[in-house]
A and B are shown apart, each in its own frame.
Chain A
């Protein structure tokens, strides 16, 4: 079999290094301890944290942060972080890759739906009259007012900051 030439995209790895939590991908020695404890890997062959780390080491940007990336199948259970002998913290590398996919506008549409509320209202769930009624029925105090202006100010991106890091 002819040897295939493997090219590593260090440009992508440099970018990953700069995203909080991404740098630890460099420590991975491909031992698969993460796979053994990963519940997503137990239930589907589509998700394998070792392979995700291998692709990160090779710098495979599109496979990891493109539209069909398997990273969104991660259950966020932290078992890989618990088990990894190299302190790779695979879940945090996956979160860094998710952040990069969001920057490229390649995240699943459902992500916005699940997370839009916090930046806009300060709470994850929409406060409806039904919620307030249920609280009243249970004898609970009303929901406290959330300082939305303060929240907006701290979430504001620095002026001139590029939306897309590319």
Chain B
């Protein structure tokens, strides 16, 4: 995310302090790594890199929050697997001992949006709002990895989730239901056509809902939908023009920040529809 979508990191850095969260950047962290491709190559090495990151967090006595659904998926699944499978844990720790580290399993791991709901409460979000997003309708795309499998993630009901709807409501915007709210974006599928068919199904569903924008918390899904709309218009000749907004960018707008301050200008599909609606909204 810091490399491909730094605007999301920017939004996190600008909005979380307004909720009373102090951010500490940890030295030595690598990519989590990604829960799809590197894991497909060698799961033990995938577990090892994740465990090393967690070991660093444990050494500092901190808890870790991620801004990304893929990161939370990797770190939580690695913890679950290592705590469940002593053989895998021994092999991973054998590797970590070479660099004087050890995975113990003591650090708490959360996505930022889960930390906000569970440790702060959404009232803290409401209190930070300076420009309520009244009249803005948001079609939420949950994305798979923050929810499933629920026996590892413990975030929400995987079939009837509400965490992101409630987050958006706290900003004064209106979450809109649509038929394909829980469909996978398809990015993890190693095929050219299948992912596009899936994203197009989701776009059609959102278009039907009439929402002003799409809201999400996963950068991989973001790529499927922002760049994905350009691909679909090129390959299939259909233009949707649905702005895709990372929910912490939306929170930034609601906290009174300007679109550039949360990096919205870097998106391929411009968020004009949303910005037009909040222009008249008085800052309180």
Interface residues of A (CB under 8 A from B): 19-21, 39-40, 43-44, 72-79, 81-82, 89, 95-96, 98-99, 102, 107-108, 110-111, 114-115, 118-119, 122-125, 127, 131, 134-135, 138-141, 143-144, 146-147, 150-151, 153-156
Contact = CB atoms under 8 A, between A and B. Distances in A.
Contacts of B38: 115, 118-119, 124
Given A73-B194, A114-B37, A20 B10 contact: no
Interface string B1-13: 0111011011001
Interface stretch (B122-130, B181-189, B237-245, B247-255): B181-189
A21 B2 contact: no
Contacts of A98: 40-41
Contacts of A95: 39-40, 43
B150 A43 contact: no
A82 B158 contact: yes
Interface stretch (B47-55, B107-115, B227-235): B47-55
A73 B31 CA distance: 24
B88 interface: yes
B189 A154 contact: no
A158 to B, nearest CB: 9
B162 interface: no
Given A111-B37, A134-B6, A118 B31 contact: yes
B27 to A, nearest CB: 6
B208 interface: no
B17 interface: no
A146 B191 contact: no
B191 A123 contact: no
B163 interface: no
Taking each of B41, B197, B266, which has the highest tally of chain A beta carbons within 10 Å of its own beta carbon?
Answer: B41
Contacts of B189: 40, 72-76
A63 B42 CA distance: 20
Nearest to B88: A20
B96 interface: yes
10 contacts: A20-B47, A76-B35, A99-B43, A102-B41, A102-B42, A131-B6, A138-B263, A147-B30, A155-B45, A156-B95
A143 B95 contact: no
B284 interface: no
B149 A78 contact: yes
A14 to B, nearest CB: 16
B194 A44 contact: yes
A50 B191 CA distance: 20
Given A75-B184, A75-B186, A76-B188, A143 B41 contact: no
Contacts of A122: 30-31
Contacts of B42: 99, 102
Nearest to A38: B184
B7 to A, nearest CB: 6
Taking each of A75, A79, A96, A144, which has the highest tally of chain B beta carbons within 10 Å of its own beta carbon?
Answer: A75
Contacts of B204: none
A111 B36 CA distance: 10
Contacts of A141: 25
A144 B25 contact: yes
A72 B148 contact: no
